[in-house]
Amino acid sequence: MKKYNFGAGPSILPQEVMKATSDACVDFNGIGLSLMEISHRSKDWQVIMDEIDVLFKETLGVPEGYSVIFLGGGASLEFCMVPYNFLEKKAAYLNTGVWAKKAMKEAKLFGEVVEVASSADANYTFIPKDFEVPADADYFHITTNNTIYGTELRKDLDSPVPLIADMSSDIFSRPVDVSKYGMIYGGAQKNLAMAGVTFVVVKNELLGKVSRQIPTMLDYRTHIDKGSMFNTPPVVPIYSAYQNLKWIQRQGGVEAMAKRAADRAEVVYGEIDRNRLFKGTANEEDRSYMNICFVMNDEYKDLEKDFLEFALGKGMVGLKGHRSVGGFRASCYNAMPIEGAKALVEVMKEFEAKH
Ligand SMILES: *Cc1c(COP(=O)(O)O)cnc(C)c1O
């Protein structure tokens, strides 16, 4: 049976990316040694680091004056590194979910945090639109895709201060005007690679402005200066990102990823809205293309477990919603083919016919 992985993260990757990565884990570049055992200072590895820098910048459209680095620690460590490196007095945050809240919690250790708006009272079912960013904030932090609640900000905001975005779960799913951001970061394990590496895109001129001392490993400049190799980098996850970026380019780049995402979303949301058993949880205008959240209509609430089991039996894996939303979450990241979305719809229709 063909299985489709709708898990929210770690998540689906293209078969050919996993294949190329596992091949390299056995024999890297035909050198008779595994990627896992060679020195990160070896020439063969340096070539990958040089190429991924070019590939990443090309694919996302990163302009001059920005650096791309690969770190450990996940997006969660960035919640602390961002204020460490940028927060002198005060920072603005848009509270659109659990991840945004976690980022705010860390920032409060470094200075004043202004929550410009929040949708917490509505269980984060929408993205606030009316807010003002204080002109004297050191930066404005947003989460472009709220993985847990299935809301997404698919445009690049204008901000009077440097805009910093957690793009963990929507990176490379659409064209982004990087020049509008001071920094973009995310854990790789949703849309880019296997778990174990964090990407950071940072505007160089914003660095070195805070007055505090920054521990070496937490200072972005350390990693920029050393090309992400100040210490031993997570070579296998980076290699999987490298393979996936090549895959994204072969598909036609971020424009093609955006088309795929829109097509999948149309198919799945279309069925949620049509099917009498289900309803979506996020406000329509803020619906995420990446994490499609839905629940059973009230009169069918008892069928929730049955549907999960039924869907699993048909090869639909990882559909259980996050506990703070309940119901179901069909994560449709870059690698999810339209066939996966269509297969899910078939399962929803079959289940409806049974009830
Ligand atoms: C998954 C996720 C995180 C946490 O990422 P880690 O790499 O596990 O620390 C942060 N932000 C968003 C939006 C996420 O989806």
pLDDT digits (tens, 9 = 90+) for 116-159: 999 999 999 999 999 999 999 999 999 999 999 999 999 999 99
Give the CA dihedral 223, 229, 233, 238, nearest 10 degrees: 90
Indicate the fold that domain 15-251 takes in CATH: Aspartate Aminotransferase; domain 2 (3.40.640)
Coil, helix or strand at residue 302: helix
Q: State if pTM tops 0.85.
A: yes
Atom number of ligand 1 nearest to Cα 169: 15
What's phi and psi for 70, nearest 5 deg? -120, 125
Residue 130 has what pLDDT?
Answer: 93
Residue 75 has what pLDDT?
Answer: 98
Q: Which two tokens stand for residue 142?
A: 């947003």
Question: What are the start and end residues of each CATH 3.90.1150.10 domain in the chain?
Answer: 253-354
Residue 112 has what pLDDT?
Answer: 98
Nearest 5°: the CA angle 239, 242, 243 is: 90
Q: Which two tokens stand for residue 46?
A: 């340096």
Mean pLDDT of the chain: 97
Span 273-298, pLDDT tens digits? 999 999 999 999 999 999 999 999 99
- What superfamily does domain 253-354 belong to in CATH? Aspartate Aminotransferase, domain 1 (3.90.1150.10)
**Ligand 1 centre distance from Cα of residue 16 (Å):** 25
Q: Is 247 assigned a catalytic role?
A: no
Residues making up the binding site for L-glutamate: 41
Residue 291 has what pLDDT?
Answer: 98
CA 122 to chain centroid: 23
Cβ–Cβ under 8 Å, residues 272 and 280: yes
Coil, helix or strand at residue 14: coil
Residue 242 has what pLDDT?
Answer: 98
pLDDT band (50, 70, 90) for residue 319: very high
User: Is any atom of ligand 1 closer than 6 Å to the C-beta of 196?
Assistant: no
